[in-house]
Amino acid sequence: MRRSIVAMVLVGALAGAPPAVSAASSGVEDPDPTISVMSRNIYLGADVAVALDLLPDMPAAAQFMWEQVADTDFTSRAPVLAAELARERPDVVALQEATIWRCRSSIVGSSTVVFDFTAQLLDAASDAGVEYVIASRDGDDAYNPGYSIPVLPFLTTVRDPQTFQPIFGTDEAACGFSIADALLVRSDLADRVVDVGVGDYDATYAVLPVVFAVDRGYAWADLRTGGGVVRFLTTHLESVWNEGAVPFSSQQARELIEVTSGWTMPLVVVGDFNSDPRDPRPLGAPNPGLQPDTSTGCAAQVPDPSAGSADAACNAYWAMIEAGFADAGPDSLDPANATWGASALLAGPDPKRLAAAQGNPYGYTDRLDYVFTKNGPEVERASLIADTWPQGPDMWRCTSAEQEANAQRAAAAMGVELGEAFCLPTDHVGLLVIVDVPSAAFATARVQSEDRRIVFAIGVAIVLVTSGLVSLWAIRRSRND
């Protein structure tokens, strides 16, 4: 009995012990590490906004989305995205819209994975000569499935003989998808992942109240470097907003700020925030992406927003800045650095939005994607990835007649002569950011470790005192007996 009591107290004390520190994380080697991170919204493959407009006709919405997924063929897109990874070799890749499409041909039974964008990207990267894995630790992955459309026979049944005949032997199948945030690390760094986690936001948009809420969240991973541990987080905030209410993206950003407020390690937050620095737009102002405007019940953004003067009340981007996060760049207030505005078919910019793409020669209209830093990381360089059209290496040959038509219209509007129609790898421009993490940035983390050492010392003292008391009690009892 006495031994079991001591053992239990010892286990409790050891739970507060600091983790073992390897030579690589002690600060002896590479005290000021340089880390590169890429942000890539890889696009679920279809225009959800159009699908929502087709509701409550779910079969029509499902068929529309599936046909666009076929046209925006991820099998063709994955090698282009993989070539970016092979060229840039980022240490960490933050994915949004990492989509899995599942289908089944019968009313009952399990579904079959037809497309797994993350798995396809990892395979394509390997073929391109660089290996990546989902950041994981102790069986947990930095992968948050987010929201999904379930496989619903009849309601989400779609026709696609070319895809379904080889799999099911049928022309039709019911399909659904899940859309995730995920963190990848280059495989040579996989053993440096020391912790991972996921979280969800309370603020959610309900397509059908009670029945279908669009869940959004985040995934994070701690990567051990020469100086200490850096935490990376990827997230995708809500794009839809309701009139008369604060945009969901702004509400979710406030939740993220609250979650991260207690994180004192060097922090890099990456994602699609669905928030342009100009939001909410004044009514009547250019707003080709249908971003939040003053009909939300929020005041219009100040005419020339900048740090210290912008209104952060209803804007996720400015809320992050107000909370002490630094925008890694490139300059988010410069229209040349917009990251969204491509057509849903990926065949260049959307011709209907081109006229509003003021200051951006490639038709991108809104800045929605960011890399934020806090607690010490210093930005060395920030650049855009796949931000040009129709020139550049980051494209693939479009295949559908509708894509060809869109590309020709876009090229004509831009005054560009187009031979073949090339498509973009995704509807978002990517970001590549390189940060230096000075050794001073890990000072707080060391204090935290020292705190744990104090807890450990107190625990050991408790063990020793308890052990002594138990021993005295046992001796006295044996004498009494």
Cα torsion 113, 162, 426, 38: sign: positive
Q: Characterize the bridge pairing of strands 212-214 and 193-200.
A: unpaired
Per residue in 289-303, pLDDT (tens digit) is 889 999 888 999 898
Please report the pLDDT score of residue 352 as a whole number: 80
Q: Quick check: helix, strand or coil at residue 443?
A: helix
Residues in the chain with pLDDT < 70? 1-32, 206-212, 444-481
Angle between helices 74-88 and 117-127 (to 10 degrees): 50
Confirm if 89 and 131 have CB atoms less than 8 A apart. no
Please report the pLDDT score of residue 205 as a whole number: 73
380-418 in b/e form (b: 16+ CB < 10 A) is eebebbbbebbeeebbbebebeebbebbebbbebbeeeb
Confirm if 199 and 218 have CB atoms less than 8 A apart. yes
Fold observed for domain 33-437: Deoxyribonuclease I; Chain A (3.60.10)
Whole-model pTM: value is: 0.85
Please report the pLDDT score of residue 479 as a whole number: 37
CA distances from 172 to 51, 62, 150, 163, 226 (A): 19, 12, 16, 9, 54
CA distances from 431 to 41, 57, 250 (A): 10, 37, 22
Hunting for tokens 């995934």 — which residue is that?
Answer: 219
Please report the pLDDT score of residue 358 as a whole number: 80
Is 119 exposed, middle or buried, given 0-12, 13-18 or 19+ CB atoms closer than 10 A?
A: middle
Confirm if 65 and 51 have CB atoms less than 8 A apart. yes
Please report the pLDDT score of residue 69 as a whole number: 95
DSSP code at position 302: P
Distance, in Å, from the CA atom of 387 to the CA atom of 367, rounded to the nearest integer, reads 12
Is 291 exposed, middle or buried, given 0-12, 13-18 or 19+ CB atoms closer than 10 A?
A: buried
Please report the pLDDT score of residue 427 as a whole number: 94
Per residue in 428-464, pLDDT (tens digit) is 999 999 999 988 888 766 444 433 333 334 343 433 4
